[in-house]
Amino acid sequence: MEKRTVSENSGRMTNRQLAALETKKKLIETAKRIICEKGLVNTSIEEITKACGVSNGTFYTYFKRKEDIVFELSRDVYREIFEEAQAYDGTFMQRLVFFMTNFSGYIEKSSLKLCQEWVRNTVDPALVKNESDKNKLQLDIDSVKELVKSGVERGELIEETPADILAHTLIDLLYGEMLCWDMSGGAYSFEARTKEFCDTFLNSLIKPYIKP
């Protein structure tokens, strides 16, 4: 019988680990559905666990409080959107538009209620328990900065392109659009509003830095 090395075995998940991941995923999906229907304030941990068919203790195995689920839902997906934008087969402008519209599109598809809960729980950094969640704004700024720097490295943008300024300006815009969409009660499409900005103003903002 072929022997496997420690590194080969460590790369495989045990049935217990797989079951734990599945339980956590189920908790997140169930909580998202209930929070989107009732709001975070009106959702109890007991309600989430009952709908999942698990104990309250199981919930606390993965999360310290129900607010953590709102943060969990926003953590990894935006990095995926950035990576997809970096790999997108198109010009710098097309990659940037892809990132911005997918950023707002994901938020809109996740539901207005969930977005409102996320804003409510992050607007005061002092109330955010997890350090990685406190840095969400900076992570988004860094993502756009990486896109811009990549454009410079690929020879699409001039060396003098102000990556820092463009990055925080565009994220300021996206977050501002998100807040206005929240305050409107979802009266219009967040994604369409972002596309409208890209179609109308983005070219004039980026054009001075496009390499001839």
Domains within the chain, CATH numbers bracketed: 14-63 (1.10.10.60), 73-209 (1.10.357)
What are the tens digits of pLDDT across the range 23-79?
998 998 898 888 878 877 888 999 999 999 999 999 999 998 887 887 777 666 677
Only one residue has tokens 């956590």, namely 24
Residue with tokens 């969640």: 133
Q: How confident is the model at residue 109 (pLDDT cuts 50, 70, 90)?
A: confident
Q: Does 117 have pLDDT greater than 80?
A: yes
The enclosing H or E element of 7 equals helix 6-10
The predicted model scores a pTM of: 0.76
37 backbone φψ class: left, alpha, beta (φ>0; ψ -120 to 50): alpha
Tokens 């410079």, located at residue: 152
Q: What is the mean pLDDT of residues 96-125?
A: 88
Least confident of 74-88, 117-131, 173-187: 117-131
8 A C-beta contact, residue 189 and residue 108: yes
Q: Going by C-beta distance under 8 Å and a sequence separation of 6 or more, which residues neighbour residue 114?
A: 32, 35, 36, 70, 73
Q: Which candidate, 79, 10, 71, places its Cα nearest to that of 87?
A: 79
Show Cβ contacts of residue 29 under 8 Å, excluding neighbours closer than 6 positions: none
Amino acid at 59: F
pLDDT tens, position by position, 142-194: 999 999 999 999 999 999 999 999 999 999 999 999 999 999 999 999 999 99
